[in-house]
Structure formats: structure tokens, C-alpha cells
Amino acid sequence: MASSGQTVVVNGEHGTIGVENPATGELISTVPVLDAADVAALAARARAAQPAWAARDIEARAAIFRRAQKWMFDNSERVLATVVSETGKTYEDANLTDLGYTAVALGFWAKRAGRYLRDERVPVRDNPLNLGKRAFIRHVPIGLVGVIGPWNYPLVNSFGDCIPAMMAGNSVILKPSEVTPLSSLLMVEMMEACGLPDGVFQVATGDGSTGAALIGEVDSIMFTGSTRTGRKVAVAAAERLIPCHLELGGKDPMIVLADADLDRAANAAAFYSMLNGGQICISIERAYVEAPVYDQFVGKVTDQIRKLRQGPPGGGVGTVDVGAVIFPPQAEIVDSHVRDAVAKGARVLTGGQRRPGAGRFYEPTVLVDVDHTMAAMTEETFGPTLPIMKVHSADEAVALANDSIYGLQASIWTKDLQRGEALARRLQSGVVTVNDALLNYTQLNLPMGGWKQSGLGTRHGADGIRKYTKTQSVMVTRFALKKELFMFPYKGWVSRSLLGFYRLLYGRGER
């Protein structure tokens, strides 16, 4: 059995993984499980292609990605159908994120890569030894990058991480989740159609053993997934001394202060906790609401969530609001968190159980009377639930929000923007939004990454592409003092003169 619960069938030399539609239970395709030898062959092909790709002018690389952007729009219905069929998410969720984000990212990195990767001039005037010299920093492709993607967004956090890696001049091998591999395979077809050289982008389908083999072949690894698996990836990367970038779990808090715009905050709580069925690392997973507005807020949120339509998105756009639970074991995790909360005194205001019938669904759920003894408030649920806790002050809300092993994203809701920003600075989170949530992810020049056990490094912004490069510092001597000054007979005189210079320049401390 694969780790996902998907069936692995022996077929010739390889096993195959059945890909099912979680909204219907229908088997829609199978993909091969590549072994270590297969992955090594892909790596050899990638390494053969990479030098010529890196040698291309960056604008020549960008032209291919601009063509890919057009391809995505021209083939949008096919892209959406593929994503929806293997995830069971709604057409709106797939269009807003998987298609929308990826198309924007193709254009963004094509436009910004040259700016982020150009040589950086470094001043040398601070040290008289370096007069007459020029120094600069280069960003050199690291070589072969491995990307291991998650199942919840088969384009955004899988192929989306490959775009800057390729734009930086690397070859990339993507190992998609065994649950949702079909979208990644479609991206291979897209990139080939748009003129990407053979071997620069490849997909290695398979299970956990395929991912382990990939780490053994690449020069850098980018992983998005659970904190538990992320630790294993980090250990394997450390054994090989290769760079490791991780986006891991989250338990993202929402803090609603008494002066917040309650209608807007309640709408956001309902939308951003249930978007993609709550299967987003930066979705709102817990809410802390000041006592004076708690009952009103809970009422508004519950009314919104109770109205949500759930079911297979087979009817097309606008037919359902919340899709299926994508990952087979996730439904049990969601249900166990709800049952644990209820056993410890929480109340279910709506939802609270698996949806009967075909497919894998969990009802959109609101929990109240919750506290930090409950898994629903401390462990990543990754499903359509929203536990709401009453607090008596902003200070208590901040303390509870920080009481977590995670630190991926958080939001604060208040009409006092100055206070909101001050509270944001106290939160132990890689990203904090004030009066909004999640939309920071669409701002691709803004770094996004987690603190604590939510990950290592960032994606987006300059570091989002530079992490796929090696830094080289270069110093060029344009004209020099006579070489005798640096020979041993003059070493003492030169060193004493420099010491006097340094005392004159820096002896008084900061000025």
C-alpha cells in the first residue's frame, strides 16, 4: 500500500498507483511507481540538459514561460477538469488557485527573475586594503533541483515551486503526491509544447520510496507537506549536505478584536476556513474572539457556514461551495479532532460528521466552547472545521495564538490599524495579515514562509528564486599598490599603519 491509502498494483516491473476522484470514488487513472533506478535515469537526463539551459540568456528562458502562461489560458478547461477530477475540489477553488496562481506565477518569474538574479555590486570603501578593487555577488544555478509536492494543490505547491527553479537555470524533477499526480503530468505536456528543452523538467510519479530516491539524486530539495514527513526530508538532505527548503504544517490563528468590522470578519472566517475544504496550510484553523462581540461573531459565522453547499462538483461552476476531502486518511483526522473536542466539552453548532453517500466528504463544522486541551485547537486539522474560542483581551489572544509549535500565518481583525500592526509584531508567525487573510500568497514579491515547526526558508520574493542558486563572491583588482607593501619585510609597518587608520576612523564608536 502507498502511504496515501491508494492501491498499488504490480504491473510488469513497476507497481502502479490508482488515482481516484475523491468526490465520487471513481478510479480515473493509474500512474507508475518509479524506483531508484528510474529516478537515477531521470537525474542523468536532467544533468545532461542543465548546462545548456543555464547558458541561455534569461530572456530566452522567460519567453518559454510566457508561452506557457498563454497555454494555460488557452487550455484552461482542460487544466480545471484535470485538477477537479483528482482532488474533488470545486471548480471555483481550482480556478482561483491552481489555475489562477500558476498562470500568474509563470508571468511573474519570467518578468522578475532577471532582476532578482543579476549581479549585485558590493561597496569596498570600508577597508583601505581594498582600494582599487571591485566586488560583486553572482547567483549561479545550483544544478538539479528536486521538488516534492503536496496533494491539496497539485499545481500551486508542486509545479509552482518548479517555475523559479527552472527560471534560475536549473533542471527540475518534480515528485507529485501519489494522490494527485495527473496535474503535474499535464504540466510536462505544456512545457514541451512551449519549447522547453528535453530533460529540463521531468515528473517522477510514485510513492514515498520515489521521493526518498529523488533526495538521493538532486543538489537541492523543496518539500511541501506535513511536519512529520518534513523532518524525514530534512534528515535525508542533511546526510547529503544539500540545501533543504520546507513548507510544513500550520495551525493559523484568527484574532478578532471587539472593534472589528464583524460582518467582514465573519465572512472572512467562513470563507478562509472552508476554502478548498479547509485543506490549505494557511487557512484559518482557529479563531480567538474578544468577549463583547463573541456571541455576535459566532452567530454570523455559523449562519454563513450552515448555508454552504457541499458535494461532487460534477455540475460545473457555481454548483457547490465545498468539495471533497482529498487525502484518504484526512477524513479520519478531521473526525477524530471533532470527536475529541466534543468529548472534552465542545459544542458543534453545525456539521460535525462525515457526509453520507458516495465520495469522501466532511460537513463544514463550527465548534464552540473550545480550549487548548483539544486537538482541534492545537494540532493541524486540515479540513472544513472552525473552532472559535472566547478571550477577554487582545493580550490573551496573542498568548494563545503563540501557544503552538506552528508559526505559518495569522490574522488580526480590528479597525485600529496602528494597534493591529503592533499586535502583528508580537505574533510568532512568518506572515501576519491585518483585516485580511491568505491574499498575501497572491503577492509574489512578498516572501512567504513559516517560523518554528512550520518550515525552513521562504517562497516568493527574491529569496524565492535565489534559494535555487549558489552564491559566488568575486573581487577584481583594477589597480593596486606596489606589491612590496604586502611582502613580509613590510608587514609590521603596514599593520601598524592600518591599526592607526582604524583607530582614527572607528575608535570613537558609532557616530
**Looking at the domain assignment, is residue 216 inside a domain?**
yes
Q: Pick the more confident residue, 325 or 490.
A: 325
For the residues 354-379, what does the mean pLDDT come to? 97
pLDDT tens-digit map of 420-440: 999 999 999 999 999 999 999
* Structure letter (DSSP) for residue 355: P
Shared-domain flag, residues 207 and 260: no
DSSP string, 282-316: TS--EEEEEHHHHHHHHHHHHHHHHT--BS-GGG-
User: 367 and 242, same structural domain?
Assistant: no
Look up residue 442 and give its three cell numbers.
Answer: 497572491
pLDDT tens-digit map of 210-241: 999 999 999 999 999 999 999 999 999 999 99
Answer with the residue of higher pLDDT: 486 or 279: 279
Same domain, 231 and 327: no
For residue 314, name the pLDDT band (cuts at 50, 70, 90).
confident
Q: Write out the three cell numbers for 349.
A: 453548532
| 486 close to 480: Cβ distance less than 8 angstroms | no
Q: Where in the sequence is the domain holding 329, given as residue range(s)?
A: 253-444
Instruction: Using DSSP bridges, classify how beta strands 201-203 and 220-224 pair: parallel, antiparallel or unpaired.
Output: unpaired
Residue 4 is assigned to a structural domain of this protein:
no
pLDDT at 76: 97
281 catalytic per annotation: yes
How high is the pLDDT of residue 483? 54
Whether 452 shows a pLDDT value over 70: the answer reads: yes
Residue 247: active-site member: yes
Query: What is the percent of the chain with per-residue pLDDT over 90, rounded to a whole number?
Result: 87
- Grid cell locating 102: 500558476
Look at residue 367 and tell me if it is in a domain: yes
Per-residue pLDDT, 370:
98
Mean pLDDT of 253-265: 98
What's the pLDDT tens digit per position in 4-15? Answer: 434 334 344 569
Cα–Cα distance for residue pair 388/368, rounded to 1 Å: 5
pLDDT tens digits, 455-507: 999 999 999 999 999 999 999 998 765 555 555 665 676 677 777 777 777 77
pLDDT at 7: 39
pLDDT of residue 490: 57
Q: How confident is the model at residue 156 (pLDDT cuts 50, 70, 90)?
A: very high
Residues 492 and 421 in one domain: no
Q: Please tell me the predicted confidence (pLDDT) of residue 4.
A: 40
383 lies in a domain? yes
Is the pLDDT at 139 greater than 90? The verdict is yes
CATH code of the domain containing 356: 3.40.309.10
pLDDT of 510: 56
pLDDT recorded at residue 501:
73
392 by Cβ neighbours in 10 Å (0-12 / 13-18 / 19+) ranks as exposed
296, 295, 291: which is closest to 393 by C-alpha? 291
Are 293 and 415 in a shared domain?
A: yes
Burial classification of residue 211, based on how many CB atoms lie within 10 Å of its CB (0-12 exposed, 13-18 middle, 19 or more buried) = buried
Least confident window among 103-117, 177-191, 311-325: 311-325
State what percent of residues in the chain have pLDDT above 70.
94
Amino acid 11: pLDDT: 43
Residue of 39, 153, 149, 177 lying closest to 94 (CA atoms):
153
pLDDT at 487: 59
42-46, 118-122, 139-143, 481-485: which range is least confident on average? 481-485
| Same structural domain, 123 and 150 | yes
pLDDT of 126 reads: 79
pTM of the model: 0.94
Q: For residue 381, what is the DSSP state?
A: -
Segment 51-70 shows an average pLDDT of: 98
In terms of domains, do 233 and 263 share one? no
Residues 206 and 154 in one domain: yes
Residues 6+ apart with CB under 8 A from 22: 87, 88, 324, 325, 326, 328, 359, 360
158: domain CATH number is 3.40.605.10
Q: Of residues 20, 217, 247, 285, which has the active-site annotation?
A: 247
Answer whether residue 276 shows pLDDT above 90: yes
Number of domains in the chain: 3
| Residues 168 and 309 placed together within one structural domain of the fold | no
Question: Mean pLDDT over residues 377-406, rounded?
Answer: 98
Residue 18 lies in a domain: no
Write down the catalytic residue from 162, 281, 290, 363.
281
Q: Are 61 and 190 members of one domain?
A: yes
DSSP 175-226: E--SSS-HHHHHHHHHHHHTTPPTTSEEE---SHHHHHHHHTT-SEEEEES-
Residue 303 within any structural domain of the chain: yes
User: What is the mean pLDDT of the segment spanning 323-340?
Assistant: 97
pLDDT computed for residue 481 by the predictor:
59
Amino acid identity at 87: T
Residue 147 sits in the same domain as residue 280: no
Over 50: is that where the pLDDT of 444 sits? Answer: yes
Please indicate, yes or no, whether residues 190 and 283 belong to a single structural domain of this protein: no
Higher pLDDT, residue 5 or 290: 290
Q: Which three cell numbers, joined as nine digits, stand for 119?
A: 549581479
Q: What is the mean pLDDT of residues 405-422?
A: 98
